[in-house]
A and B are shown apart, each in its own frame.
Chain A
């Protein structure tokens, strides 16, 4: 899923300081799962804005709404006839949400309420970890089911660099050296030979480097 975290409250207050009528829109997709952008978080953020305004002697009306998914025009369409009543809209979906809202409702002033971090999952309660860089051509099968593009700080494809230190990456003792894990796993599986094969430079055409991406499934196009 897409993992996000809330923007600092100070930054959000600054964004909406000139508005008296604000709508906060949550999303029941990924951001609900990572506890940052669901209906619960919409309510908390709304209360926070109200309290902050009262403290500063300002008047503000904050309304709450949570869509099934902000990355789907069908659900975004629900805001028709509602969104224009507000001076400002804070979307607390991933980066897709504020853009879909902005595109659908050209006159709406949309602000992002979260910082979108990465594609990953929860490795334990309250801890999320990156797994995928969205390169557009999955290669994890060459590396014991582990992605060095997303998880090696240098995206190395041919083995661990000289900075691998007791299983940790040279950038920080808190970051696993993923190549250490890949090598040990492949050795355990008796697949060292596969790692000794030279991996040629990867084509990044399928990644963001090839320009903004779009996917068309002909059979679904009406």
Chain B
């Protein structure tokens, strides 16, 4: 038996005690494989794994498993994202087997943004199971070799199981308990929501560390550099569960014309430096939304290169 649950690069990096650094990539709104490969090229060698989003914000895109396979072809380790919105338990379990069979080793389990947000609000949603149950399903298939109905899985999908945590959604007091519940359900690693309110996040992490959660699971802090004042304002006002302090918006505005993006990157790099020192944080998940080409620069300046070989 391997000492690893999945043997994924991300798992090995984390287990070896390195400060992990992961990226994110949204599949194209079409079959634009060329563009996807180009985005992959910016990420290659700069991150340990790349989270491939699954119809994020309920907008139809190339399927996350297909884009994950393209990442594999490009020599990048994908972190296959799966949401419960679009699949029932039959599709979920068969997709888990399918992606594992093709060499995918990380899976991020999410409930998924409600379809009302997206570009097909008329759709019927599924939500047969929730993210907690999805985590548990993946773990049961891997560790007990059982499907949800109790039948045997003949070859187990050995996946490194991820989950999300949003410390900024309400009720705040419950959030750390929800994190604990996800870990108990089977999460091996956690990606947090984009962090901007560092003070609140410190408080969240203090509670997580007090409960010993960081010893049971690898917590990756979510970072999304702000590209503009408009983006910051939009996130503050229109993205539910997002906490963007007024002080950050002011700082970005203060940077002046043409310098806001640089200020956003500077803030992200400062955050990464803080996360390196923060107790309980095992790495950073960088969500450079449609800014993949800036990842090489950000990782360079954040001092996280070269990525460890394990």
A residues in contact (CB < 8 Å) with B = 153-172, 177, 180, 183-184, 187, 192, 195-196, 198-201, 204
Contact = CB atoms under 8 A, between A and B. Distances in A.
B130 interface: yes
Interface in B167-210: 169-171, 173-174, 177-178, 180-181, 184-185, 193
Given A170-B241, A183-B171, A161 B185 contact: no
A154 B127 CA distance: 6
B127 A163 contact: no
A196 B182 CA distance: 10
Given A165-B241, A171-B116, A201-B133, A159 B178 contact: yes
Nearest to B89: A201
Contacts of A187: 171, 173-174
Interface of B: 84-85, 89, 111-114, 116-117, 125, 127-133, 136-137, 148, 164-166, 169-171, 173-174, 177-178, 180-181, 184-185, 193, 240-241
B185 A154 contact: no
Contact of B240 (A155, A157, A165, A183): A165
Contact of A154 (B125, B148, B174, B177): B125
Nearest to B132: A158
A161 to B, nearest CB: 5
Nearest to B116: A171
- Among B85, B177, B180, max chain A CB count under 10 A is at B177
A160 B114 contact: no
28 contacts: A155-B127, A155-B130, A156-B130, A157-B133, A158-B130, A158-B133, A158-B181, A159-B132, A159-B174, A159-B181, A161-B169, A162-B164, A162-B166, A162-B241, A164-B169, A164-B170, A164-B171, A164-B240, A165-B240, A168-B240, A169-B240, A170-B114, A171-B117, A180-B170, A192-B174, A196-B180, A198-B132, A201-B137
Given A192-B177, A200-B136, 5 more contacts: A154-B84, A160-B169, A163-B169, A171-B117, A187-B173
